Amino acid sequence: MMRSSVGYLILCAVLRAGVTHAHAEAAESQEAFVGWTREDLDAKWGTDWGFSGISTFAHLPHHRCLQYPETEYDIGILGAPFDTAVSYRPGARFGPRAIRAASARQTSFRGYNPRASINPYREWAKIIDCGDIPVTPFDNELALRQMSEAFTNLAHSVPPKQSVDSSIAYRRRPKLLTFGGDHSIALPTLRALNKVYGNVAVVHFDAHLDTWHPAKYPSAWFDANDPAEQSFFTHGTMFWLAHNESLLLENKSVHAGLRTRLTNLGDNEDDDAQGWARIACDDIDDLGVAGVARKIVSHVGTETPVYLSIDIDVIDPGLAPGTGTPEPGGWTTRELIRVLRGIEGLNVVGADVVEVSPAYDGTGEATALAAAQVAFEILSSMVKRGMAPDAGTTKDEL
């Protein structure tokens, strides 16, 4: 019995050695798996369907630009998930996530914009998704500091190196398209732009003025005469603060789409004193879409550095209900997009799309979809403006 057991063990060892030797010979003679070249891998696995992939805006590559400031890009998408300066319905901290999700059907291989005659994702510009600013929800003073520092750092980003053979005629500074968050994020953005461009004009699409004196929100709990009062920083006062900090060009900024109730006519007088022009929502019926666009361009000029700020509540809440301060009677999504197309010649140095609050949106994501389309139009205009003159566009000297 013992002798047969020993024989069995020896036989197993021999067989095992033979199998191992056979595998080794096969490994030595095996050819590389077909499709392992860089080109094959990119072609097979380098694209996504609208419903697949990690949720970045338009499936763009994701880089943590704040954490890695050496990251090069021409246009960066940045989320500012902050909503604790809102006066009515909170929830816009989830806006960046919702806009990215709603952009899923935008892809570089199917991103041609017929009105602009370009695919912004495949032209000269390197466009990436820079992720979000990790803004605290507990302390607005700290949040403002965080956003101011983040935007300032990114405003000084270095553009991609330009090759000798490039068809890009002009090198410009990198630009940011920011997704809010509530509208107060415009203040830290303007602070950052001021350090790079000096004073800029604001083209502001909104149902509301957002130039209100903080005391327009009456309270016995703060000192209305204290310029350092933290509660002065809200999504309805940030342009008042920007004016007081001398961040805006005089008499160059314009509101469009206004239709809100006022405290009294003194609100418009305060707005006048801060140098703003106003285009009411109803003006689109008298001037038409083209007339509104012409009025904006003629007031601002095509060489003035512009911060383009779009509160999604400029659209009627019947079409974009997911927002913090809805005002009935607004523009349609199509009207807003057509006005944006009409001002594509502006020298936009930064932009935002804010106040998307998905908790109030429907299952069809109408508000987020509108915001994603607005962002696509802004990107198209930025890229088109930055192209060489022989492409039929205007030189960007900034």
- Homologous superfamily assigned to 64-217+229-387: Ureohydrolase domain (3.40.800.10)
Q: Are 178 and 78 in contact (CB under 8 A)?
A: yes
Q: Per the annotation, does 226 bind a ligand?
A: no
Peptide bond into 288 cis (omega under 30): no
132 is in an annotated binding site: no
pTM of the model: 0.86
What does the block give as tokens for 208?
A: 């509301």
What's the one-letter identity of residue 34?
V
Burial class (CB within 10 angstroms; exposed 0-12, middle 13-18, buried 19+) of 155: buried
**207 and 313 in contact (C-beta within 8 Å)?**
yes
> Is 23 one of the annotated binding-site residues?
no
Q: Is 210 annotated as a binding residue?
A: yes
What is the full per-residue pLDDT of the chain (398 aa) written as tens digits? Answer: 445 555 555 555 544 555 455 444 545 555 555 667 888 888 888 888 999 999 999 999 999 999 999 999 999 999 999 999 999 999 999 999 999 999 999 999 889 999 899 999 999 999 999 999 999 999 999 999 999 999 999 988 878 875 334 444 444 789 999 999 999 999 999 999 999 999 999 999 999 999 988 877 777 777 767 666 777 889 989 999 999 999 999 999 999 999 999 888 889 999 999 999 999 999 999 999 999 999 999 999 999 999 999 999 999 999 999 999 999 999 999 999 999 999 999 999 999 999 999 999 999 999 999 999 999 999 999 999 988 554 433 333 33
Q: Is 211 left (phi over 0), alpha (psi -120 to 50) or beta?
A: alpha
Helices within the chain (DSSP H only): 2-29, 38-45, 95-102, 140-155, 186-197, 238-244, 266-273, 283-300, 333-342, 366-385
Residue with tokens 């192209």: 387
CA 18, 20, 26: angle at the middle one, nearest 5? Answer: 105
Specify whether the CB–CB gap between 339 and 256 falls below 8 A: yes
Residue 183 counted as an annotated binding residue? yes
